[in-house]
Structure 1
Amino acid sequence: MDFILRLVAFIFIIYVVQSRESIKNIKSFKLNEKMIYDCVDIYKQPSLLHPLLQNHKIQMEPSFSISKPKNNIRGESKSNKIIECPNGTVPILRNTKEYAANAQYWAEKHFNPLTAESHGTHFAGVNSQGQGYRGLAAWMSLHDLNISKDQVSYTNIYVGSGTNNKKNSIQTGWMVNPSLFGDGRTWSYGFWKGANGAGCYNTVCPGFVQVSKTDMLSMPYPYPRKGEVGVYTSIQQDKETGHWWTTDVRYLKPDVNVGYWPKELFDLIDKSVDMVGVTGAVQSSPSGISPPMGNGHLPTKNEDESARVKSLVIITSDFKLKGSDKYKLEKILDSDKCYGLRDGKTKYFLKVSNLFTYGGPGGDSCGI
């Protein structure tokens, strides 16, 4: 009997020690006081708890690759690894109550390309409307901005569809939002709206499935930066699964497939989208003062001095990539008092220089 008790006690001690070791060995990365990432088993990430994803099988990699206009994406920004989780795990953000509350607050104010409602929001960009798009990719110049805690400035690519009361959309790009991220750095981000109006920033609520062990949907860009620096990113529907992947396209390096928004999250874009576009956008403070957009300056004839978007490609209904010169792009600019939008060079997409330049200083006379 004593032997059995000692054996049970020994097994219990071993279990406790192993449990403590497993907790101690969980890798964590603190990017600032608010943003802490833990390396979590890829099959136990919180997004899989979403009611619509109970039977979801993780797709480890997409069935496509983006054709790179290599001559025009020399500016890289997310190639320096700041996180690298062990094999079989992925970086997942610890969601604090403060972060979740801030994310919800800014989500309600976020620019929606599918609606004319834009109180306090200003934007400048281009889009294409039609039927059957499968995604897009674009290079966006990257900038640092002086933004107050009650303002936001960002640039993104997006896909979406809308009917009378339903709107589905996905966006990804770069953002300066001190209130959300806890500092004034420029961060990558993702934003989605799905079935029943549900959706949010990054991974604050279940939905986005993280696949990369090094690149997160939301991470700060390396700083300081020299020369022309930008991010070439894509949102593309997978032909085999229907999921919407986001990929960091790299110059002379392998692309990084960050992860995807499962098709089960959506009730309008599970098969395709009706609109794709690229835009710069800002959200003014409650006082009515609008923040800078782009690089904080109005675009000029000297494109190197302006915030710019280039190498825009649109993915057709049959999953082929076409240059933006094959489409009629609608320009959108809601406040020419504070912001500008200019055409860039529009050569064939594999040699395109600039599609458009945009931006401005903002101020207190931009309107509502």
Structure 2
Amino acid sequence: MSNFINPASWPLILAVFIFVILTPKEIVDGRTISNVLNKAIIKTIKVDKDEIIDCYDIYKQLSLNHPSFHNHTIQMRPSIYPKNIKLDNMGTLQLTQTWHKYGTCPHGTIPIRRNIGKYYHSTLSHKHHRSKPSYYKKPNTLQPNGIRDGHEYAVIKVRGNFLGAQAKINLWNPFVETPEGLSVSQIWVVAGDHDDLNSIEAGWEVHPPRYGDYQTRFFILWTTDTYKNYCINLECPGFVQTSSDVSLGCNFTEMSTFNGNQKDATFSIYKDQNSGNWWIQIQGIPVGYYPSSLFTQLAKTAVDVEFGGEIYDEKYKERHTTTQMGNGHFPSEGVFGISSFFNHVQVIDENNKAKDPEDVETYVSNRNCYDLKVDEKHTNGYGFYYGGPGYNNNCP
């Protein structure tokens, strides 16, 4: 057989070569791809110069590449919902995310925010930006004020055996002082301890290293090894998204105003008893799930549930950060409209019943910097006010 190419084929080969060279290349999820050849992207929605949404074929999403998902069948919707869960009041937000103004993703696709270079593509990295609350630490690892590794908290904690949690979280755009800073308001669903702590988290965050800006964005997170490794949103295989309406890592359209209109959204994490999958839900919309096979401890139930705020302070000015938690105001300054809130807080017990939390513990790293106050009136179900400005006369 001859090794020479038939000259008649040269025009075709040249055409293919030119096509490959000239096809526009873009960076998506850290990979250089050709949109023409990438069959996973069904539609692209241009939001602005720093925001693009790609509508991916649901069956070609990154999570299905996880080693434990061989022959995984996507569960399109939860098969069972918790009993008594408050679904009739899903918060005051109507249009959830800004990209909705520019288009929609077709049925059978999922919207993925394109990584376009402003922030660190940090799959399982930049570990100093995430940590477990300090009360998991051994006492001798804590600084005198309860702060460790720059993380500070104002949270409530409930212990027991749980299949999930839900809360309506007030939406704000807190000031974050440095490009390395972080301000989070979220739910933690936790099991295990020491080096085998499992956690699923959902809420909103302002995190410039991840997004390249200071906007308030919807996020989820999971870890199985006490944050030695963790994954946020869809940055690595793990979370199986099913919703075509909600994009992880995208910003919200409306924020609360001080002493004015209050905006909030309902965030839920719960275990489907039939499939074992841990579902994430926002505003009553099932966004997707973490398969139970990802976890060691959370393969069964959660043993701790937490609600509240977290900030990261790198102390680069030899003083406390001015990064705000919540809206930057203490609960002592006032409640609804003045400081930030969680309300309609519920835990889901091992009988799959949603209920108000009981025997609640409060943990605040440093009350001079941030604080938390439970609403004893229970005006809107079980709730609390939290937050603070950070640096002030009493928080040097």
Q: Which TM-score applies when normalising by structure 2?
A: 0.78
1:252 matched residue in structure 2 = none
In the TM superposition, what is the alpha-carbon distance from 1:195 to its structure 2 partner? 6.0
CA contact (8 A) 1:34 1:182 kept: no
Specify which of 71, 79, 92 is matched with residue 112 of structure 2: 92
SS in 2 for 1:285: coil
Distance, in Å, in 2 between the alignment partners of 1:189 and 1:267 is 22
Unpaired segments of 5 or more residues in structure 1? 250-254
Residue correspondence of structure 1 range 1-368 to structure 2 within 5 A = 20=36, 26-31=42-47, 35-65=51-81, 67-68=85-86, 70=88, 73-75=91-93, 78=96, 81-82=100-101, 84-95=104-115, 99=119, 101-102=121-122, 104-113=124-133, 115-116=136-137, 118-130=148-160, 132-147=161-176, 148-194=178-224, 198-223=229-254, 227-249=261-283, 255-287=284-316, 289-290=320-321, 291-300=323-332, 302-304=334-336, 305-324=338-357, 327-347=358-378, 352-353=380-381, 355-363=383-391
Distance of aligned partners of 1:21 and 1:180 in 2 relative to their CA distance in 1, 3 Å threshold: closer
1:265 alignment partner AA: L
Is 1:77–1:230's contact at 8 Å kept on the other side of the alignment?
Answer: no
Offset at 1:168? 0.5
Change (3 A) 1:316 1:280: same
AA matched with 1:87: H
Residues 99/260 of structure 1: CA separation in 2 closer, same or farther (3 Å cut): farther
**Matched residue type, 1:78:** T
Relative to its length, the structure with more helix (as a share) is 1
Q: 1:160 to 1:52 in 2, by over 3 A?
A: same
Query: RMSD between aligned alpha carbons?
Result: 3.1
Aligned residue for 1:26, secondary structure, equals: strand
Contact 1:150 1:286 in 2 (8 A): no
Kindly tell me: are residues 225 and 140 of structure 1, through their superposed partners in 2, closer, same or farther at Cα, counting changes over 3 Å?
A: closer
Give the CA deviation at 1:102. 4.1
Q: Distance in 2 between matches of 1:71 and 1:46?
A: 33
For 1:293, what is the secondary structure of its paired residue? coil
Question: CA shift at 1:70, angstroms?
Answer: 4.2
Residue-pair matches, total: 345
TM-score, length of structure 1 as denominator length: 0.83
Aligned-partner SS, 2:107:
coil
Deviations 1:242-288 (A, max 9, x none): 11101113xxxxx2111111111111101111101102000013415
Distance 2:181 2:262 in 1: 26
Quote the offset at 1:95 in angstroms.
4.5
User: What is the CA deviation profile of residues 78-113 of structure 1, one whole-angstrom value per residue up to 9, with x for unaligned ones?
Assistant: 276355211211112445677454454444431314
Q: Structure 1 CA distance, aligned partners of 2:108 and 2:386? A: 41
Q: Secondary structure at the match of 2:232?
A: coil
Assess if the C-alpha contact under 8 Å between 1:151 and 1:282 holds in 2. yes
Output the amino acid matched with 1:68.
Answer: K
* Alpha-carbon distance between aligned partners in 2 of 1:62 and 1:219, rounded to the nearest angstrom: 23
- The range that moved more, 191-200 or 352-361, is 191-200
CA distance in 2, matches of 1:79, 1:37: 12
Q: Which residue identity lines up with residue 177 of structure 1 in the other structure?
A: H
> How many angstroms does 1:23 deviate by?
6.1
Distance 1:76 1:162, change over 3 A: farther
Three-state SS of the structure 2 residue aligned to 1:180 is helix
Instruction: State the 1:25 CA deviation.
Output: 7.9
The question of whether the paired residues in 2 share the 8 Å contact of 1:231 and 1:248 is answered with: yes
Amino acid at match of 1:330: E
Deviations 1:289-326 (A, max 9, x none): 421101011113631211011101110101111112xx
SS across alignment from 1:27: strand
Conservation of the 8 A alpha-carbon contact between 2:255 and 2:263: no
The amino acid that maps onto 2:296 is D
Q: Are the counterparts in 1 of residues 40 and 56 from structure 2 also a CA contact under 8 Å? A: no
The letter of the residue matching 1:359 is: G
- The alignment partner of 1:173 has SS state of strand
Q: Secondary structure at the match of 1:52?
A: helix
Distance in 1, matches of 2:255 and 2:277, equals 35
1:215-234 CA distance string (max 9 Å, x none): 02321010465611011110
Letter in 2 for 1:293: M
3-state SS of 1:300 partner: helix
CA separation of 1:336 and 1:76: change in aligned 2, threshold 3 A: farther
Amino acid corresponding to residue 73 of structure 2 in structure 1? K
- Structure 2: stretches of 5+ with no match in the other structure: 1-7, 20-34, 142-147
Percent identity between the aligned chains?
29
Give the residue type in structure 1 aligned to 2:385.
Answer: T
Residues 301 and 93 of structure 1, relative CA distance in 2, 3 Å threshold: closer
